Amino acid sequence: MSEVTMEKIVSLAKRRGFVYPGSEIYGGFSGFWDYGPLGIALKRNIENLWWRMFVENRDDMFGIDAAIFMQKQAWEASGHVKGFSDPMVECKKCKKRFRADQVGDACPECGGNFGEVRQFNMMFKMHVGATEDESAVSYLRPETAGGIFVNFKNIIDSFHPKLPFGIAQIGKAFRNEIAPRDFIFRVREMEQMEIEYFVRPDEWERWFVAWREEIFMFFEAIGVARDFIHESEIGDGDRAHYSKRTIDFEYDFPFGRKELCGLAYRTDFDLSAHAKASGVDLSVVVNDVTGEKVIPHVIEPSFGVDRAILALLASVYTEDTLGDETRVYLKFNPIVAPIKAAVFPLLKNKPELVAKAREVYTELKKTVPQIMWDDNGNIGKRYRRQDEIGTPVCITIDFQTLEDDTVTIRNRDTGVQERVSTSLLSKHVLA
């Protein structure tokens, strides 16, 4: 079994339409990547599964989609204007800048010496509206969580939930990373899936433990190998400014063991800070008899979609020999596979086969929209192409189909084919 390398993943992702370099015809743009047709299908499948698991399948969760921009006071209150920074060093000789915790003592480019370590704020600073003065300043959000905290009171007022309950959001976040790297691992524009789970202060430990398990269950559901995920308890000096306990979930990426997602106990830091800065009461009643109120504490599972996709690609990338041919295939769980099935007429130049195949395709597409038509090249080549994008099954319409309405279904992982009646096709594909 040969090794899964970043080169192989990046090259397949581009060749087959998963992920392209941003602004590629202008030479690329560091830290920005564009998702192609298969990439966006994969991304949506992952996000939909997350939403189903954590929002729709639960009674204690509220989904929102907040604006990316917020009043700058919100980012001042949350501590991001002051504290959302990475340590940076600049080479005295070539002037290149690096993240201080990612380089040694000398410049990796020219060997020069570094100046003092400085803090570099990673929020993109913007001006909203037609004036460019300080009053118009706002920021592209560096995490989606902010939009959740400022909507806490809205959810309480509209739905009157009791603790514990959560608010979930999927959306873009932006960080002006000093050194974007490793494909979609460290980017400047990313997608996050975040939950703020509000609990009674004395119950935080219990919910922290519960969410640890939920995180593993999510990765298992999308098909990221559990053996490759490791928990890492973050020490006192290294946690984000708002956190009293953090576990990083790290994945064994081809370039090393690095953070895949995080679980943080944010205490009442954010709600208290927003209550103070806005003057709005963000406490909730926890005892109807005594009227006792508390500011809820928060457990935050925070998932990066791009990192989840990269971990998944690395998990499912497989090279093997089938028959006497070597092949590359993506061993996606059907639930996340961008294409669930491909439909082929055995021969392209037989109108009756093509017409029947079209009929099967059109019928199947009504229940399984993520399917693909392919009549290019011979069957072997079509199988290889579908294997490479991780399509779980290929359906071939042949002469026997015209007689008895059965088709062959070929399994991606084993190469084994079986004959199935067209009436049972969608059941087979969705199984």
Enumerate binding residues for ligand ATP (CB under 6 A): 175, 177, 186-187, 190, 192, 259, 261-262, 302, 304, 306-307
Identify whether the C-beta of residue 340 lies closer than 8 Å to the C-beta of residue 332. Answer: no
Q: Which long-range contacts (CB under 8 A, 24 or more apart) does 53-58 make?
A: 53/217, 53/218, 53/221, 54/166, 54/168, 54/195, 54/214, 54/218, 55/168, 58/166
Q: What is the DSSP letter of 174?
A: E
Q: State in angstroms the smallest separation of the CB of 300 from ligand ATP.
A: 9
Q: State in angstroms the smallest separation of the CB of 22 from ligand ATP.
A: 13
Q: Which is nearer to ligand ATP, 307 or 356 (CB)?
A: 307
Look up tokens 């020999």; give the residue: 321
Token pair in block for residue 22: 């941003």
Q: Given CA atoms 79, 81, 82, 88 in this order, what sign does their dihedral have?
A: positive
Phi first, then psi: what are they for 372, rounded to 5°? -130, 145
Q: State in angstroms the smallest separation of the CB of 8 from ligand ATP.
A: 20
Q: Which residue is nearest to ligand ATP (CB)?
A: 304
Q: Which is nearer to ligand ATP, 123 or 339 (CB)?
A: 123
Q: Which is nearer to ligand ATP, 311 or 394 (CB)?
A: 311
Q: At what angle do helices 305-316 and 204-222 cross, to 10 degrees?
A: 50
Q: Which is nearer to ligand ATP, 175 or 356 (CB)?
A: 175
Q: State in angstroms the smallest separation of the CB of 83 from ligand ATP.
A: 12
Q: State in angstroms the smallest separation of the CB of 52 from ligand ATP.
A: 20
Q: Which is nearer to ligand ATP, 336 or 364 (CB)?
A: 336
Q: State in angstroms the smallest separation of the CB of 231 from ligand ATP.
A: 13
- How far is 238 from 270, CA to CA, in rounded Å? 19
How big is the chain by its Cα radius of gyration, in Å? 25
Q: State in angstroms the smallest separation of the CB of 5 from ligand ATP.
A: 20
Q: Which is nearer to ligand ATP, 259 or 388 (CB)?
A: 259
Q: State in angstroms the smallest separation of the CB of 171 from ligand ATP.
A: 12
Q: In what order do the strands lie in the sheet with 406-411?
A: 371-373, 341-345, 393-397, 406-411, 417-421
Q: Which is nearer to ligand ATP, 187 or 330 (CB)?
A: 187
Q: Name every residue whose Cβ is closer than 8 Å to that of residue 193 and which is 6 or more positions away in sequence.
A: 47, 50, 168, 169, 170, 302, 303, 305
Q: State in angstroms the smallest separation of the CB of 140 from ligand ATP.
A: 13
- How far is 120 from 364, CA to CA, in rounded Å? 53
- How far is 98 from 114, CA to CA, in rounded Å? 9
Beta bridge partners of 232: 248
Of 135, 87, 95, residue with least CA distance to 113: 95
Identify whether the C-beta of residue 381 lies closer than 8 Å to the C-beta of residue 428. Answer: no
Q: What is the DSSP letter of 53?
A: I
Q: Name every residue whose Cβ is closer than 8 Å to that of residue 341 and which is 6 or more positions away in sequence.
A: 364, 368, 371, 372, 391, 392, 393, 394, 395, 429
Q: State in angstroms the smallest separation of the CB of 186 from ligand ATP.
A: 4
Q: Which is nearer to ligand ATP, 302 or 315 (CB)?
A: 302
Q: State in angstroms the smallest separation of the CB of 122 from ligand ATP.
A: 8
Q: Which is nearer to ligand ATP, 121 or 278 (CB)?
A: 121
Q: Which is nearer to ligand ATP, 192 or 401 (CB)?
A: 192
Token pair in block for residue 169: 């959001």
Q: Using CA atoms of 145, 305, 45, 51 in order, give the dihedral in degrees to the nearest 10.
A: -20
Q: Which is nearer to ligand ATP, 143 or 374 (CB)?
A: 143
- What's the one-letter identity of residue 166? G
